[in-house]
Structure 1
Amino acid sequence: MPARFFGTYTPKLDDKGRLTLPAKFRDALAGGVMVTKGQDRSLSVYRTEDFQEIAEQTVAASRNDPAARAFMRLLFAGSEDQRPDGQGRITLPAELRTYAELTKDCVVTGAFDHLEIWDAQTWRDYQSEHEEDFSSAGSAALENLL
C-alpha cells in the first residue's frame, strides 16, 4: 500500500547538502527514495517503488507525444536515487539544490503521495500568492458537495 504524506515540517539543510526527513515518515522512506525536480521550484521526494510506477506511466505516455518526451527527459535527468541514512538524512545534489534555490531554511510538505522540499522563503511566497486560489477552490468544492 502506498504511503500517504501530510503536514509541514521545517528542517535545516546542512553544509554538506543533507536534509533530515521528518521522523514521522522515516519508516515509509527507509527502503529508498527518488528525489526529483518538482513543480514551481520545489523538489519532490517519492518512495522508490512509487516513482517506478510513475516512470513506467510516463514512458508509456511519451512514445508519440513530443511534450511528454520532453517532460520525461527532464524528469529523469533531474532525478537522484537516495537511501536515507540512520538519522533520516538524504543528500541533495548541488544541481537539485540550485534548481529549488534552497538555502539553509527549508520546508518539507506532505503532498499525499510524495513529499515536497521548498526553500522556506519560496514556500511563504507561494502560499501568499495562492491563498486566494485555495480559498476560492475550497468554497467551490464545498458547494459541489452540498
Structure 2
Amino acid sequence: MFLGTYTPKLDDKGRLTLPAKFRDELRGGLMITKGQDHCLYVFTREAFGELARKVASAPLTSESARAFQRSLFSGTDEQVPDGQGRITITPELRRYAGLKKECVVIGAYTRAEIWDAQAWHEYQQRHEDTYAQAQEEVLPGLI
C-alpha cells in the first residue's frame, strides 16, 4: 500500500531515490510507466502483471485498445532499486512527465506516482475546489 507525499530530487543521471516507506514493497523490482495527467505510475511487478493481463485481454479489433496497449507496453520500464533505494528513470519517461530536478512522489494506494514538483502543485490547485464534490461521487453516503 502506497500512501503519503515525498519530495526527492532527480540527480544528473536521471536517478530518483524512492521514499523509504516504499522501498520494502518495491525491493524485488518495479515497473514504471506513463500515467495519466503526465505523471509516472510505479507498480510492483505483481500489480503491473494484473494490470497487464487486463489490458492484454482487450479485443484486438478495437483500435483504441490496440493504441492503449502499444503505448502502455512500449512505454514501460522495469527497474530494481539499487542499495540506496534509487531507480533510473529513462529519458523518454522523464520527458513525458516533464521531470526536472524537483520531484514529488505520492502514494496512490495501489501505486506510487512520480510528478514534476511544479506540475503536482498546479494539479493540486486545479482540483482543490472539487475535492468535496469528488468525495461525494466516489464515496456516496459513506462520509
Give the TM-score, by structure 1 length: 0.92
- Partners of 2:62 and 2:24 in 1: how far apart? 37
Aligned pair 1:10/2:4, yes or no? no
Corresponding residue of 1:36: 33
Residue range with higher mean Cα deviation, 128-137 or 41-50: 128-137
Residue range with higher mean Cα deviation, 61-70 or 80-89: 61-70
Q: Which of 44, 65, 68 is equivalent to 1:68?
A: 65
CA contact (8 A) 1:34 1:47 kept: yes
Q: Which of 99, 114, 117 is equivalent to 2:114?
A: 117
- Partners of 1:17 and 1:95 in 2: how far apart? 11
Q: Which of 83, 88, 91 is equivalent to 1:91?
A: 88
Corresponding residue of 2:104: 107
**Unaligned 5+ runs, structure 2:** none
Identity of aligned residues (%): 57
1:62 to 1:34, Cα distance in 2 relative to 1, 3 A: farther
Corresponding residue of 1:53: 50
Give 4+ residue runs of structure 1 displaced > 3 Å after superposition.
139-143
**Unaligned 5+ runs, structure 1:** none
Q: What SS class does the counterpart of residue 84 from structure 1 fall into?
A: coil
Corresponding residue of 2:19: 22
CA apart distance, 1:51: 0.5
Give the TM-score, by structure 2 length: 0.94
Q: What SS class does the counterpart of residue 145 from structure 1 fall into?
A: coil
1:139 to 1:49, Cα distance in 2 relative to 1, 3 A: closer
- Partners of 1:59 and 1:69 in 2: how far apart? 9
- Partners of 2:36 and 2:11 in 1: how far apart? 23
Specify the code of the residue in structure 1 equivalent to 2:31. M
How many residues of Structure 1 are paired with residues of Structure 2 in the alignment?
A: 143
